[in-house]
Amino acid sequence: MDSNCRMNVRRCKPSLVKPCEETPSTILHLSPIDSLPVLRIHTRTLHVFKDSPSEAAPAAIVREALSKALVLYYPLAGRLKPQTYPLQLDCSNQNQGVLFVEASCDSTLASLNYLDDLTSIPFHLLLPEEHESEPEAEGEALVKMQITEFASGGFVMGLVFCHSICDGLGAAQFLNALGEFARGIDLAPTIKPTWDRDFFPDPPQNALINHQLAIPNPPPPLPDYSLQQSNIDIPMDRINALKKQFQESTGITCSAFEIVAACFWRSRTRAVYEASCNNDQEIKLVFFANCRQMVEPPLPKGFYGNCFFPVRISGWSKEIGEASINEVVKLIQEAKSRLGREFREYISQKQREPESDPFAPPLDYSTLFISEWGRLGFNQVDYGCGPPVHVVPIQGSPVIPVGIVGSLPMPRKGIRLMTWCVQEPHRLSFLHQISQLFL
């Protein structure tokens, strides 16, 4: 797609989609993890479908399915109550719902290469967040959705989701249920949703007062690193070759994510610090791991809230830059092996010091975040025309070094590493370092 791409998108006025049946009028309590200030953000994704359902227009099918899915997932139609900790969710207003926008584009998805080139997507035209204030209900919708139909078939779902209500696994669970209703399954979805937000004990009241958790302080100003965006497409045969090398060297197996994370961290470290006069700085790699099975008893399959914990790996730039990929993979595996113990210690603490909050690692140039999207379940969602050919995460901040591990657009097999991780002086060196590993 041309970097000067112009798309003519026509939007209808936003509306609210409500549950098609009466739902409980209640106030729900979220967990302390849901209530973390760092999660009071909205994640944004584009879901690209090559074809359209044959029965009706995509927007009409998704709208009807959404009204059915919200009967079971009625909390997603609610509104957060401000100034509460842990957060509370108001589900008592029958005028609440999901913000829904219908749109059309006179271009074809094929002419836009199915939005394959993230750097040239005018994603703001495909997301529902640039619109006028919401109709009818007070407060911001937890879920906002735009269905944009393209000429000659196909559509894009632009989705904005409040992270305080769902993590990635939970959001994908909801979309898969939505897909089942869209395909005509009018009974219950395969996975029945459960709330279960009481798995995490609330902090004592004195901790809330002392640490001012009820009304969080404004976040400190973020540095402006002007991070450059780059995609690295990795064929599966190269991933499998590196996994095989690791197994032959160590006698144990590793995952594709661990291989990609190790290559990513070492490549960035070399690019950023080898040319520096002070090339031996403390650096960190951070990612978040699902902890549903680490709760006692484990959370049910239908749980769709936030239940994860940061895996943190620390090292020195010279050490990581000179290490083999196998050595970096072992560091990652060692950190993951501590996850269960660290998570259980965290949720059992009676008082949590804000300055040692594991969910708030330093947001500086020496900390690299990586997130895995390919296994969440977004790529299996089917509204009656097959799964998406492409799921595009939209990076929320250009100032936090990050990489997102996703899947290559169909029909290709492999991994796409989407990165916003280096400043311009380090970009070419980073791309050279990482491409050498995946050639």
pLDDT tens per residue across span 28-55: 999 999 998 888 889 999 999 999 988 7
Tell me which of 81-95, 294-308, 378-392 is least confident: 81-95
Residue 356, pLDDT above cutoff 80: no
Which residue stretches of 17-91 are H helix?
58-72
Tell me 396's DSSP state: S
Residue 7, pLDDT above cutoff 50: yes
Query: Region 163-170: what's the mean pLDDT?
Result: 96
Give me the numbers of helices (H) and strands (E) for the chain, helices first please: 9, 16
SS3 sequence, 167-217? CHHHHHHHHHHHHHHHCCCCCCCCCCCECCHHHCCCCCHHHHHHHCCCCCC
- Compute the distance between CA of residue 131 and CA of residue 355 in angstroms, rounded to an integer: 38
Q: How many other C-beta atoms are found inside a 10 Å radius of the C-beta of residue 317?
A: 20
Which residue stretches of 323-405 are H helix?
325-337, 339-348
Residue 167, pLDDT above cutoff 70: yes
Q: Is the fold of 9-211 the same as that of 228-374+391-438?
A: yes
The pLDDT tens digits of the residues spanning 90-133 come to 999 878 999 999 999 999 999 999 999 877 778 889 999 755 55
Q: Residue 103: which of 69, 130, 77 has the closest Cα? A: 130
pLDDT band at 188 (very low <50, low <70, confident <90, very high): confident
Strand partners, 288: 310
- Compute the distance between CA of residue 139 and CA of residue 128 in angstroms, rounded to an integer: 16
The pLDDT tens digits of the residues spanning 261-287 come to 999 999 999 999 886 666 689 999 999
Query: Region 309-323: what's the mean pLDDT?
Result: 95
Return the amino acid letter for 301.
Answer: K
- The set of catalytic residues is 163, 382
pLDDT at 433: 95
- Compute the distance between CA of residue 372 and CA of residue 407 in angstroms, rounded to an integer: 10
Return the amino acid letter for 328.
Answer: V
Query: Strand locations in 176-263, DSSP E?
Result: 228-235
Return the amino acid letter for 438.
Answer: F
- Compute the distance between CA of residue 392 and CA of residue 395 in angstroms, rounded to an integer: 9
Residue 143, pLDDT above cutoff 50: yes
How many CA atoms within 13 Å lie on the side-chain side of 314?
4
Write out the DSSP string of 123-169: GGGTSGGGSPPPSSSSS--SEEEEEEEEETS-EEEEEEEETTT--HH
Residue 212, pLDDT above cutoff 50: no
pLDDT at 130: 54
Query: Which residue has tokens 């999207």?
Result: 373
The pLDDT tens digits of the residues spanning 213-249 come to 444 455 556 666 789 889 999 999 999 999 999 999 9
Domain ranges in the chain are: 9-211, 228-374+391-438
The pLDDT tens digits of the residues spanning 239-248 come to 999 999 999 9
| H or E element that contains 435 | helix 424-438
Strand partners, 42: 162
pTM of the model: 0.91
Whole-number mean pLDDT of the chain?
Answer: 88
Q: How many other C-beta atoms are found inside a 10 Å radius of the C-beta of residue 167?
A: 25
Tell me the backbone φ, ψ of residue 15, rounded to 5 degrees. Answer: -135, 170
pLDDT at 353: 57
- Compute the distance between CA of residue 218 and CA of residue 260 in angstroms, rounded to an integer: 35
pLDDT at 37: 85
pLDDT band at 397 (very low <50, low <70, confident <90, very high): low
Query: Region 283-305: what's the mean pLDDT?
Result: 95
Residue 386, pLDDT above cutoff 50: yes
In this structure, whether the domain defined by 9-211 belongs to CATH 3.30.559.10 is answered with yes
Highest mean pLDDT out of 86-95, 343-352, 389-398? 86-95
Residue 154, pLDDT above cutoff 60: yes
424 or 136, greater pLDDT:
424
pLDDT at 374: 87
pLDDT band at 355 (very low <50, low <70, confident <90, very high): low
Return the amino acid letter for 342.
Answer: E
Domain 228-374+391-438, CATH number (from 3.40.50.720, 3.90.1170.50, 3.30.559.10, 1.20.140.10): 3.30.559.10
pLDDT at 208: 46
